[in-house]
Amino acid sequence: MLPEDGVPQGIRPVGAAGAEDVRSQDMTPDPDTATSTEAADPAATVGGSADGGPGPSPGSGPDSGSSPGFGASGQNRWWIYRGSGQPLYDTSLRELLPEPPPWRRFTGGPVVPPPPADDEEVARRLGRPSGRSPASEQLRREADMVNAALLLRRPLLVTGRPGTGKSSLAYRISRELRLGRVLRWHITSRTTLRSGLYEYDAIGRVQDSAALRALHTAGESPIAPRTAGDRAAGDPAASGGQLPGIGDYVQLGPLGTALLPYETPRVLLIDELDKSDQDLANDLLSVFEEGQFNISELLRARRRHPRVTVLTDDPEGGAEIVGGVVRCRAFPIVVITSNGEREFPPAFLRRCLRLRMPDPDRTQLVDMVTAHLAEGAVTRAGESGDLIERFLRRSRERGGLAVDQLLNSVYLATSGRLPTDAGALDELVDALWHRLDGAGAESRPG
């Protein structure tokens, strides 16, 4: 858990890895948002004090009240994301997050409602909420880079070997900061920027128009005229005898939904960007810099329909678009993962913060097994020949294994369903822990 024992909560430990290089990126102070404490003591910085020691503590318990020296919006708090595994319980990200740098301010509107929760998906990805073990250098580094991305409103590029938990970081951020459903954009070689922003179903609209004309030609009377309320709700089923509005045929993708004008940032996971066409990373630059994009079909119709309600990437979601332009208000928390299959253009890398995700160590693996399979699973796995230790050794021998391979083996080993003979588990584990590079046959011959 961050920070370590003996360090005031909400304060960055002095000397922890990544302090200097993180704060040197884009951290131009904004005089309009400086607190009275900063004005009185220019040496005071985020999470630090004039003498180089930790800054004032914001308090840790639910009864601690306001935190002296941190201001109403928490401008002086470095540990916004702590990596503790526990959701915020006495505050919110909106209260903790300071104003963005002047060059990263966005003023989109009208403000849309907060996103729905998706506790089921988060639990499937992360398991039950539980306190994580004392912080390692990697966890400190991870928290540092997440907090830097939060303050700078910049995407976070997470690289590492497959199966090391890169995608899970987006869900940990969402759970801890209580940001609702994670928007996931899975990238393939055929993915384009347009598919992430929005889709326009022109064929569906033409088909509906033809069906409606055929209905009138046959002399059948319309069921009922479509009301203004139906059009605003964007419900195609309520169209009656009229062609549904254009908004019923426009659906925002994960990236487009993340750029809606929310008061609090959405979490957007752009998964496996290195599998994309070479142009996609360059195409993303303008969207990341401008925080907005045009929907050309709505731009053409903006005089007749200045406000159009479209579908979003959230289940049953809708949002009002003004003038055919989507403008963000709070820049989303963008987690981009890459397995390192290719390099990205320098211009793209300049606009991202970078985090290397190493293989999890024993302590982290114990935390993951406990979160997914409860406390007793680790003990029972130890009784089965210490599967975690064997997994670490086998992972080194086979060029790296994925965490879900360990979870599968622990689940089977502790299920009570395996044959009782001594070799059954060894043979099954050998088959489950196959190489991920496809080199060689890893299961024993039958």
Residue pair 357/162 in contact by the 8 Å Cβ criterion: no
Exposure of 184 by Cβ count < 10 A (0-12 exposed, 13-18 middle, 19+ buried)?
A: middle
Tell me the two tokens of residue 84: 């503790």
CA dist 117 to 80, 166, 175, Å? 20, 21, 10
182 touches 174 (CB < 8 A): yes
Helices 375-383, 362-373: inter-axial angle, 10-degree rounding: 120
C-beta contacts of 414-419 below 8 A and 24+ residues apart? 414/373, 414/376, 414/377, 414/380, 414/381, 414/384
Return the exposure string of 22-57: e unless at least 16 CB atoms fall within 10 Å of the residue's CB, then b.
bbeeeeeeeeeebbebbeeeeebbbbbbeeeebbbb
CA–CA separation, 112 vs 104, rounded Å?
20
pLDDT-flagged residues of the chain (< 50): 1, 3-75, 221-239, 441-446
Exposed (0-12), middle (13-18) or buried (19+): which is 285, by Cβ within 10 Å?
middle
User: How far lies 107's CA from each of 115, 180, 205, 330, in Å?
Assistant: 19, 22, 33, 8
pLDDT for position 16: 41
Contact 122, 184 (CB under 8 A): no
By residue count, the chain amounts to: 446
State CA 165 to chain mean position distance. Answer: 12
Q: By C-alpha distance, which of 315, 146, 317, 169 is closest to 247?
A: 317
End-to-end CA distance of the chain: 46
pTM of the model: 0.76
Give per-residue pLDDT as tens, 320-363: 999 999 999 999 999 999 998 889 999 999 999 999 998 888 88
Helix (H) or strand (E) holding 200: strand 198-200
pLDDT at 410: 87
- DSSP codes of every residue in 163-196: TSSTTHHHHHHHHHHT--SPEEEE--TT--HHHH
Radius of gyration, CA atoms only, the chain: 25
- Quote the tokens at residue 117: 């929760």
Query: Angle between the 168-177 and 137-152 helix axes, to the nearest 10 degrees?
Result: 70
What integer pLDDT is reported at residue 93 of this predicted model? 93
d(CA 383, CA 33): 56
**Alpha helix positions (H), 161-318:** 168-177, 193-197, 202-217, 228-233, 254-258, 278-290, 296-300
Exposure on the CB side of residue 323, measured as CA atoms within 13 A: 8
Measure the CA–CA gap between 318 and 234, rounded to whole angstroms.
7
Distance of CA 227 to CAs 207, 230, 241, 295, 334, Å? Answer: 21, 5, 11, 25, 38
CA distance 409 to 250: 44
